[in-house]
Amino acid sequence: MTKAPAIGRAIAALRAGRPLRVEGPEPIVVLAVETATPELLRLLDPKGEARVLISGERAAALSLANLREAADPAAPVLVERSEWLDPEAALALADPGRDVERGPIGPLTPVPCAFAETAAAALALARSAGLLPALWVLASGDSAASISAAEIAAATPEVELIARARLPLHDMPATQIAAFRGLDDGQEHVALLVGAFGGNPPLVRLHSECLTGDVFGSLKCDCGPQLKEALRIIGAEGGGVLLYLRQE
Domains in the chain, please, with CATH? 5-154 (3.90.870.10), 159-245 (3.40.50.10990)
- For Cα atoms 224, 242, 200, give the angle at the middle one, nearest 5 degrees: 140
Backbone region of residue 124 per phi and psi (left: phi > 0; alpha: psi in -120 to 50; beta: other values):
alpha
Phi and psi at 35, nearest 5°, equal -115, -15
Cis peptide before 173 (omega within 30 of 0): no
pTM for the whole structure: 0.67
Q: How many percent of the chain have pLDDT more than 90? A: 55
Q: Determine the Cα–Cα distance for residues 141 and 146; give it in Å rounded to an integer.
A: 12
Asked if residue 131 lies in contact with residue 14, where contact means CB atoms within 8 angstroms, the answer is yes
More confident residue, 23 or 157: 23
Residue 20's DSSP bridge partners are 30, 145
The length of the chain in residues reads 248
| Average pLDDT of every residue of the chain | 88
Convert 108-167 into a string of H (helix), E (strand) and C (coil). CCEECCCCHHHHHHHHHHHHHCCCCCEEEEECCCCCCEEEEHHHHHHCCCCEEEEEEEEC
- The radius of gyration of the chain's CA atoms, rounded to the nearest angstrom, is 21
Q: Determine the Cα–Cα distance for residues 192 and 195; give it in Å rounded to an integer.
A: 10
Q: Determine the Cα–Cα distance for residues 145 and 118; give it in Å rounded to an integer.
A: 16
pLDDT at 155 exceeding the cut of 90: no
> pLDDT digit string (tens) for 40-61?
999 999 999 999 999 999 998 8
Average pLDDT over residues 228-232: 93
> pLDDT digit string (tens) for 79-127?
999 988 999 999 988 988 877 776 677 788 999 999 999 999 999 999 8
pLDDT at 1 exceeding the cut of 50: no
Q: Burial of 34 by CB count in 10 Å (0-12 exposed, 13-18 middle, 19+ buried)?
A: buried
How far from the centroid of its chain's Cα atoms is residue 154's Cα? 18
Asked if residue 234 lies in contact with residue 194, where contact means CB atoms within 8 angstroms, the answer is yes
When pLDDT is cut at 50, 70 and 90, the band that residue 3 belongs to is very low
The pLDDT value recorded for residue 99 is: 76
The pLDDT value recorded for residue 185 is: 63
pLDDT at 159 exceeding the cut of 80: no
When pLDDT is cut at 50, 70 and 90, the band that residue 248 belongs to is low
> pLDDT digit string (tens) for 60-78?
888 887 788 888 888 999 9
**Residue (of 128, 135, 112) closest to 58 by Cα position:** 135
